[in-house]
Structure 1
């Protein structure tokens, strides 16, 4: 572990203004909410979801990924009404605000919710209404990234891309590609991403987590990604790191998730320093707090505790999250100014301007 000499007088990372760019819809649910909804609908939850502690996961093999996906699908089956959707989004926003998030881009595959919400278009509209309402109630800036499922046919992805563009004026800012990146090829979804880009949406596919650096390169080459979900495996290829840095492609890095899924054995093994020192912009994210047990501020604590990030460096990570977002320019400027103010304020027991 790389110790930070300023730990005892470090500023509170929950007070550090930041943007949250990698949070999945069902995965954002509070464990207590899952228990309540499961009881309401008579859904039998396995012990891994009822125990009050994160389940033990390791998705680096096919069996482990299947178990992770099964737990996620069971949790998602408890979201059955518009009120359930509104509750999930409102609570996710409340948790983000508590952790210092000022801007959230939540990712969702609406096809997974459509059967219980009256169809695909009603599902999208219910989700967008919930996001608009939660943003109004909590003061958190919120937008949506609509994601296609890599395990489904690329034609479905094209349909989703067209709908995502259609709802760009309702808060959809990006188009993603999720699920097991070891399945299929990114290029199979190139036409869907072309539709999304032509419609002004950010291309933000997953890559470089369960699969190696080639999957990050595929996101850049085949999908023209402006952001990459995860992307940490790029650390294994110096030329790819240089490319990400040169083009300032933000990687949505989720340290707790990487360890929970077995991508790295320990928090200190996640290559945060490698990416940071190579100049690759990062936006730390919580991914699926329901299954991984930690939210946004905890990712910054990992950077501090296990990688020796100083407060000045944590502030720079927060700036990178803001720059990588689709927040309006006025929101960005305000956030960047507030990050500077956080850093300028004296730390507990310290003196402002120490760079701690």
Structure 2
């Protein structure tokens, strides 16, 4: 079988804190004398039911990890290591999602927090060959006016090159807040040319997917797997061309599906949906990007041509620059053509834009 780590692909669903290496988290906590919950350090994937108590446990652990990120150096390290890990897995495009609100108190405000992530994303792109874009995400747990503030900030830095803001998202417990109240924030982001990439269709079912489609007009939907519960909603997803960022490990870890076999991957693909596999929060769920493709192969029986189509879907659904898109799609074709060949490494061709520091500029 072809090596899935050599399959060129894009990674579109990865959260900033959740991307952290376990060793990095342990080091940051020890350096600051912070005591972490044992469940964060035992190396076992989080397993909780998809109910309020289960989500509370997940959020408590995530918040404990996030509390260890308290400086510019910490933030840069997380972005740098995320890019390095993606490069090792054949990802040539990473769109890392961050809510700068959580880190702003330690670095002088929202704008510096975002600029640090952007600057390191640009530098990591140059070092690793993985083109890194940034998605700014609001939280359902905060007031919709906070989302508008973040959307305006994201719009200032909208762009296409490495290190630029390419999308605007909405994360956290989708059972909280009223989706329609976040529509003005997404309108701000769309006017700036940003992709609309909210979460939906994970903890709530197809009815809520319909609400997200109506009010937030997504280009991509974080998860979206429960759209299969209503054929009309799934048809609407396909008709609109909304890509689904499917994260098998997190869906099972959070109890959305009891087993990997229950994930409707084949049904989504058969319906014509564009799918992009993602790791979501490897720190908590214990698996990164290639392991999601391995689940598709081993559990769902996808052959190499079907796996290549998943990779193509991830690239086409990304906001990668045209050169990176062409390079990755050509690499996927080569991966299929030669069972023993290397495909295309993320590192095989450097991005055309490099640099750091002063290269981060707001859109005017």
Q: TM-score range by the shorter chain?
A: over 0.9
Cα distance in 1 between the residues matched to 2:47 and 2:35: 19
Paired residue secondary structure (2:255) = coil
Residue matched to 2:102: 112
Asked if residue 43 in structure 1 is aligned to residue 34 in structure 2, the reply is yes
Residue matched to 1:345: 338
Cα distance in 2 between the residues matched to 1:153 and 1:122: 22
Cα distance in 1 between the residues matched to 2:243 and 2:220: 5
Residue matched to 1:130: 120
Residue matched to 1:7: none
CA deviation string 1:240-297 (max 9, x = no partner): 1112122221000000100000000001101100100000000000000000000000
Number of residue pairs matched by the alignment:
338
Asked if residue 11 in structure 1 is aligned to residue 2 in structure 2, the reply is yes
CA deviation string 1:166-222 (max 9, x = no partner): 011460000000000011221010000000001110100000000111221112100
Gapped runs of 5+ residues in structure 1?
1-9, 349-356
RMSD: 1.1
CA deviation string 1:29-76 (max 9, x = no partner): 000000000000111101101212223333x11111111111001101
TM-score, length-normalised on structure 2?
A: 0.91
The one of 86, 89, 107 aligned to 2:79: 89
Q: Is the 8 A contact 2:92 2:324 kept in 1?
A: no
The one of 3, 24, 28 aligned to 1:33: 24
Deviation of the 1:105 alpha carbon: 0.3
Deviation of the 1:347 alpha carbon: 5.0
Q: Is the 8 A contact 2:47 2:255 kept in 1?
A: no
Asked if residue 283 in structure 1 is aligned to residue 271 in structure 2, the reply is no
Residue matched to 1:318: 311
Deviation of the 1:224 alpha carbon: 0.7
Residue matched to 1:249: 242
Cα distance in 2 between the residues matched to 1:77 and 1:131: 21
Runs of 4+ in 1 over 2 A off after TM superposition: 52-58
Further displaced range: 187-196 or 79-88: 79-88
TM-score, length-normalised on structure 1?
A: 0.93
Gapped runs of 5+ residues in structure 2?
342-364
Asked if residue 158 in structure 1 is aligned to residue 148 in structure 2, the reply is yes
Paired residue secondary structure (2:96) = strand
Residue matched to 1:6: none
Cα distance in 2 between the residues matched to 1:45 and 1:54: 16
Cα distance in 2 between the residues matched to 1:94 and 1:215: 36
Cα distance in 2 between the residues matched to 1:278 and 1:347: 32
